[in-house]
Structure 1
């Protein structure tokens, strides 16, 4: 299991079972269009998954809300065409998620769809779309912010100064900056 060394730490124990479930689901089921990418791999998605679940746990999210974050993490970068900005990969991944649910007779969650769709957009647009959607539940904005922060915290893979901490949306994400740096280092050691 990827990140086993990190999951055995006490801070991760409350989310270990959920992480294992979602990582296994992603590893066995989600197809990535850029499997040889250096930046947008299953390993990146696994770190985003761990960070999203940690923030969600610290915020006291329900099991269902953490599942929304887990599914979004599994699919969010699966439909990238390149390692650049690639605006639009979010909606492609969201459509893949929707089709996957239909084809495999899995429950479809509209919040997962919206988070995945807009994770690659500026907050002004993403938050506007989520806020104005009649189908997204009240906590959809919070889930979006948590997911965006989890994805942002893994920007250290792009370089030591790639994360602008002033752009983080949640207090919990601010407290996880050093953890995210350490997480990347430990995941690189695991892959060496």
Structure 2
């Protein structure tokens, strides 16, 4: 696994580089990943707008800021993502803001579909769910993982799947409304619990 992590880190990009990559692809009428469709393009366009808004509006709690400033040893937060992923659009801006609070935290992103070996090491309930944050120490040993959703959203998804079998468009809309009301607070609680 260490070699897989090393290879993915060599391909990793910063959050601003990721935002530029997604925007450049959108300008060409494309989404990230090898599969292209109108649906993925439309999700990517919507997510780009969400991330632009969240980049400006996300506020970290005092508790989050204090906890993240306490990180003394260097860490790399390697995140698997794709531009079309709604959960990534809601969570990456928060993760980025948290990482910006401490120079000991180096946030790097890789595309899931270009890093399948890495993704397969960090499945969620057997699925390639993203975003997936892998916190690494300065020797690239895994400290912790997080994702693809904050604790409350994860429970909402599990409960809905148990009752209805799968997620439909109505639930996905409901989940996005929940994210908007939560304002990144739940993901902050999750992240500070492992740093």
Q: Normalising by structure 1, what TM-score?
A: 0.33
Q: Normalising by structure 2, what TM-score?
A: 0.33
User: Of the two, which has the highest radius of gyration?
Assistant: 2
